[in-house]
Structure 1
Amino acid sequence: MDIAVLMTTFGIIFLAELGDKTQLTAMALAIRYPWKKVFIGIAAAFALLNLGAVLIGKILFAVLPLFWIKLVSGGLFLFFGITTLRGGEDDEDGEGKKASARGPVATSFVMILLAELGDKTQIVTTSLAAQHDSPLAVFTGSTLALWLVSLIGIFLGRQLVRFISLSAIHKAAGVLFLVFGAVVLYQAFAVR
């Protein structure tokens, strides 16, 4: 494995995702669900995304038009924004715990998978894999960078609960999902 390629890939991807929607999504999901389950879903999604980017990135973009990927992703963000806003009220009295604990791994996996499919970091990963004869180094560097950015987001989100009420955080997370959904849908239709 080419360590220089691994480190270059790690640095580029880490800086590109720092403060991006992925990190904010991880933060919002970690407030709503157990952080370990959120990370499992996120880690699996990034591993799959990076595998696709390194191995079949160009084919993937030919088969799935970016418009439809963004349309589904935007709709999913809007859906989770609405359910987060509605679910945040129940969590104050504990009634929403059962419903919100169901499927955090799958929720995290699907949200990250759809949000990042065709995103700049996947395109960069595909490009780096095409430029270097070290696909394992590109995959490893990109995946580790995305996992670290997500963990930072998760732990920042968990710390927010100490200073801000859970209800306010749920409302902010819901609004954040709605904003991401609107932005992704705007991008989908603006490109067309």
Structure 2
Amino acid sequence: MDWNLLAVSFTAVFISELGDKSQLAAIALGGSSKSPRAVFLGTAAALLLASLLGVIVGEGTAQILPERLVKAVAAIGFALLAVKLLWPAASDN
């Protein structure tokens, strides 16, 4: 097992999930539920499944497309999201 990759993956996902919609949903569900254990198990299972799907799709994509192209598409996608967040449409005001 690549322990360095494990640590990097954990840190990246943990930090990106803080304050994310999934954490806010867990807070709301946990606060309104009489069974926080069920909320924890449900949200943990959902995050595990989402991560598994991401890894499977990522591995499949890496088999088909060059790494440089995948990184370029991801960078452009994030840049477009940033522009949209910085300059919302006139109808959003």
Superposition TM-score, scaled by structure 2 size: 0.72
1:179 matches 2:62: no
Q: Which residue of 1 aligns with 2:28?
A: 127
How far off is 1:169 after superposition? 2.0
1:159 matches 2:41: no
* Letter of the structure 1 residue corresponding to residue 69 of structure 2: A
2 CA distance for matches of 1:148 and 1:137? 16
1:137 matches 2:38: yes
2 CA distance for matches of 1:111 and 1:180? 21
2 CA distance for matches of 1:154 and 1:162? 12
* Secondary structure in structure 2 of the residue aligned to 1:162: helix
Q: Which residue of 1 aligns with 2:8?
A: 107
Higher RCO (Cα < 8 Å, 6 or more apart):
1
Consecutive unaligned residues of structure 1, counting only runs of 5 or more, are 1-35, 38-101, 187-192
* Letter of the structure 1 residue corresponding to residue 65 of structure 2: I
Q: Which residue of 2 aligns with 1:118?
A: 19
How far off is 1:156 after superposition? 0.5
**How many pairs are equivalent?**
85
1 CA distance for matches of 2:12 and 2:18? 10
Deviation by residue 1:152-174 (Cα, 9 ceiling, x = unmatched): 0110111112321223223334x
2 CA distance for matches of 1:104 and 1:119? 23
How far off is 1:104 after superposition? 1.6
Consecutive unaligned residues of structure 2, counting only runs of 5 or more, are 87-93
Give the aligned CA root-mean-square deviation in angstroms. 2.9
Superposition TM-score, scaled by structure 1 size: 0.38
1:170 matches 2:52: no
Identity in percent: 32
Deviation by residue 1:57-112 (Cα, 9 ceiling, x = unmatched): xxxxxxxxxxxxxxxxxxxxxxxxxxxxxxxxxxxxxxxxxxxxx83222212211
1 CA distance for matches of 2:12 and 2:54? 15
User: Which runs of structure 2 are paired with 1:56-135 in the superposition (5 Å)?
Assistant: 103-135=4-36
1 CA distance for matches of 2:35 and 2:26? 12
